[in-house]
Amino acid sequence: MQLTERVYLVGSGKAGFNSSNPYDCHVYLLDGGAELALVDCGAGLDLPAILGNTRAAGFDPRRIRHLVLTHKHSDHAGGAAELQAAFGVQTYATQHTAQVVSTADEKRLGLPMARRGGVYPPDYRFRAAEVHNVIKDGDRVMVGDLDLLVVETPGHCDGHCSFAFTHEDITHLFAGDAVLFGGQIILQDIPDCSVSSHMRSIERLAELKPDVFLPGHLQIILRDGWSPIEAAMARIRLGLSPVMGA
Ligand SMILES: [Zn+2]
């Protein structure tokens, strides 16, 4: 599904459009011209569905050269190992995400609790994946002729980051789970979920004033993409937490 000139939605689970496995986050395909990238890769339970959507959008999945991860959670990073085995994609993540993803550290992934709570199937396992490029705030990831800015946005969990790029004066933001439609956030009872860092991260995203808002779940906004961030900021300015969602 084409969203903008350079961005396609090739995966999405039940907290979205259900176009791939129900446990998947939104999986975005970025068309950098000479090469392609994925932003997040879903839970790894149905890679063929994501590849099928990529082909339906007119792209050969063998051209996917890069995978950038917003964070470690299984619905975003669980498919990395299979994607690497299939296409040798270069994978980018922050230091914390790299450590957890490369060791499949279930405790730091929050997986035992998530499985117990039915967030994932009882037999779900996270497959360890390599991270080839450790990224930090202010870094740039080149995808063909596009230039992705890394914005570290912890709060939803440690190591969370967002990505922004501007093409023909249109600023796109891949927000991951930092903020969702209507300014909602996802607060979880896990040791590394922090309300106050969440809010500082949303303040940073507000400075970017994106036109296109591409979150990890729920609705996508193709015009006035700053509006969900502004909705969260309206509460943050009052000293309140944004509303809990998803
Ligand atoms: Zn998450």
Q: Rounded to whole angstroms, what are the CA distances from 219 to 16, 30, 39, 140, 207?
A: 7, 18, 16, 26, 21
DSSP string, 175-239: EETSSBGGGBB---SSTT--HHHHHHHHHHHHHH--SEEEESSS--BSSSTTHHHHHHHHHHTTT
Rounded distance between C-alpha atoms, residue 135 and residue 152, angstroms: 9
Confidence at 63, pLDDT banded by 50, 70, 90: very high
Which among 80, 81, 75 is positioned nearest to 24, based on CA atoms? Answer: 75
Q: What is the DSSP letter of 2?
A: B
Res 244 pLDDT > 80? no
Q: How far is the CA of 152 from the centre of ligand 1 (A)?
A: 14
Mapped onto helix, strand or coil, the DSSP state of residue 7 is strand
Q: Which residues, other chains included, contact 72 with Cβ-Cβ below 8 Å and sequence gap of 6+?
A: 93, 96, 97, 100, 101, 108, 109, 157, 159
Label residue 246 by pLDDT band (50, 70, 90). low
Cβ-contact 47, 85 below 8 angstroms: no
Average pLDDT of the residues in 82-93: 97
**What does the mean pLDDT of the chain come to?**
95
Q: How far is the CA of 112 from the centre of ligand 1 (A)?
A: 15
Bridge-partner residues for 176, per DSSP? 215
pLDDT bucket at 117, cuts 50 / 70 / 90: confident
Separation in Å, CA 191 to CA 100, 110, 188, 237, 246: 14, 9, 9, 25, 19
Mean pLDDT over 184-212 rounds to: 92
pLDDT at position 223 over 80: yes
Confidence of residue 186 (pLDDT cuts 50, 70, 90): confident
The three state secondary structure string of 133-161 is EEECCCCEEEECCEEEEEEECCCCCCCCE
| Residue 187 tokens, joined | 């607060």
Centroid of ligand 1 to alpha carbon of 34 (angstroms): 30
Would you state the pLDDT for residue 53? 98
Q: How far is the CA of 79 from the centre of ligand 1 (A)?
A: 14
From ligand 1's centre to the CA of 75, what distance in Å? 7
Alpha-carbon gap, residue 148 to 81, rounded angstroms: 23
Please state, in angstroms and rounded to a whole number, the distance separating the CA atoms of residues 61 and 91: 15
Residue 16's nearest CA partner among 200, 217, 227 is 217
What is the arithmetic mean of pLDDT over 90-114?
95
- The per-residue pLDDT for 82 is 97
Q: Any idea which of 94-98, 190-194, 213-217, 224-228 has the lowest mean pLDDT?
A: 190-194
CA distance 139 to 86: 27
Which range is least confidently modeled, 10-14, 151-155, 163-167, 187-191?
A: 187-191
- The pTM for the full model equals 0.96
pLDDT of 191: 85
Query: How far apart (Å, rounded) are the C-alpha atoms in residues 26 and 169?
Result: 24
- Give me ligand 1 centre to Cα 177, in Å: 6
The average pLDDT across 125-137 equals 97
